[in-house]
Amino acid sequence: MYKKAQLDNGLKIVAHPMPGMQSLSLGIWIKVGGRYETFKNKGVSHFLEHLLFKGTKKYSCRAIKESIEGVGGALNGFTSEELTCYLVKIPGRFQDLALNILSDMVLNPLLPKIEVEKERQVILEELKMYKDQPQSYVGELLDELLWPDQPMGATIIGTVESVQNTGREYIASFKQGHYTAPNIVVSAAGAVDFAKLKKGVEKIFSKQKKESANSFLAASEAQTDARVKLFRKDTEQTHLAMGFHSFKRNHPLKHALGLMNVALGGNMSSRLFNELREKRGLAYEIGSAAKRFYDTGAFVVHAGIDNRKVNESIELILKELKRIKESLITQDEFKRAKDFYLGQLLLALEDTMDNMLWVGETTATLGRTFTIAEIIAEVKKVKREDLREAAQQIFKENKINLALIGPLAAGEEELKDKLKLK
């Protein structure tokens, strides 16, 4: 199903040919992101990602966009804690064009000073935008609680100070040091000609030297007591994010965690949605998410709740966490969680872009790919007891982290006293 190759310099190629598809999705992944930075240079990976769209030795900024969009394609990029990705979705017959554009962006960006200064202002506005969106900003506050005083817990976009102090020469040096062959994965899915892709990648990237892989500071999960962070703001509702340290990307209980997430807050049938929204009308938005990284992870409950019902909402959330920690979920609930978990994966992988992201991310982070059949077999082995075991390992009273944004009267210590799972 998947086709793979590796160049002598360490660069990896992975593809999922999908017969009958008209589109090709292509991505170039760099194993670098927010946690590869320091507080001094925070946001440089994201800054660099923006600048790679501003022109190369072969293509101007305008030519990059027009070359892809002019044939019906779409071009984008993103930066996460552990990865940077540049991606294209395009009609399959333009495979060579997509590879040429993306590879030239990655290898030969001009990084013109005038664009550095313009993009600096754009990113500073982006910072303001996220801070003005409490449903997003509360997540940043929670990350600071989960991983304090370390790059893992700092925002990917950086701070006003770090963005203002990052110069063009430093950005160029950062790129040269991190965008190296062993840290690059080229992934593709859809109407892909793998032989042609491999030949093209070899021609373009084989001259890159074999250097050492990027490294980052290991995450510290040290925590002895619950932590609370309040950001008082005159909002119409209170935005809540509650988090616990959780499992790393390839933990043996990763699927149990995924199923527990579905049962607790993964859809409209979930316990949190039913208890807080359907039964009591305390929240419009309520859900949960499992975040996984190389060596750490987080389980997060997020909600927008009635300003007058903050204490009641927190109590109900903790009640549900305690319940799933102490008692097995019902057989019916377990079956629905498994069917939803696998169904969502199958539906997503009908799209060439999702397939490209699937094989690219797992290759870049774990050095391997997973077939649908492998995932189904693994999920089938999960038992109800595994969900309870996951909950018992994660939901500990001294490991609670709570971030809130809203017109709050209570103080942090007062709220901390209410965080009880016993």
Instruction: Report residue 402: phi and psi, to 5°.
Output: -130, 125
Average pLDDT over residues 365-390: 96
pTM: 0.95
pLDDT of residue 216: 93
pLDDT band at 257 (very low <50, low <70, confident <90, very high): very high
pLDDT, mean of residues 282-286: 94
**DSSP letter (8 states) at residue 214:** P
At residue 417, does pLDDT exceed 90? Answer: no
Round to whole Å and give the CA distance between 187 and 184. Answer: 10
On the question of pLDDT at 347 being above 90, the answer is: yes
**Is 80 exceeded by the pLDDT of residue 369?**
yes
Q: Which residue in 49, 81, 144, 333 is the catalytic one?
A: 49
Is 115 annotated in the active site?
Answer: no
**pLDDT above 80: residue 422:** no
**Cβ atoms within 10 Å, residue 135:** 16
Which of 52, 105, 87 minimizes the C-alpha distance to 360? 87
What is the predicted pLDDT for the residue at 55? 96
Residues 290 and 246: beta-carbon distance below 8 Å: yes
Closest to 243 (Cα-Cα) out of 296, 289, 309? 289
Q: What is the separation of C-alpha 253 from the centre of its chain, rounded to a whole number of angstroms?
A: 19
Question: Could you give all domains of the chain from N- to C-terminal order, each with its CATH number?
Answer: 3-205 (3.30.830.10), 227-416 (3.30.830.10)
State the DSSP H helix or E strand holding residue 90, giving kind and residue range, or none if neither.
strand 84-91
Question: CB of 39 within 8 A of CB of 222?
Answer: no
- CA triplet 116, 153, 359: central angle to 5 degrees? 75
How large a percentage of the chain has pLDDT more than 90? 94
Q: What pLDDT, in 10s, does the model give residues 34-81? A: 999 999 999 999 999 999 999 999 999 999 999 999 999 999 999 999
Sheet strand arrangement including 227-232: 227-232, 401-406, 238-245, 297-305, 283-292
Map residue 74 onto helix, strand or coil. Answer: strand
For residues 363 and 188, the answer to whether their CB atoms sit within 8 Å is: no
Per DSSP bridges, beta strands 184-190 and 238-245 are unpaired
Question: Please, what is the average pLDDT of the chain?
Answer: 96
Indicate if the alpha-carbon torsion angle 131, 117, 154, 261 is positive or negative. positive
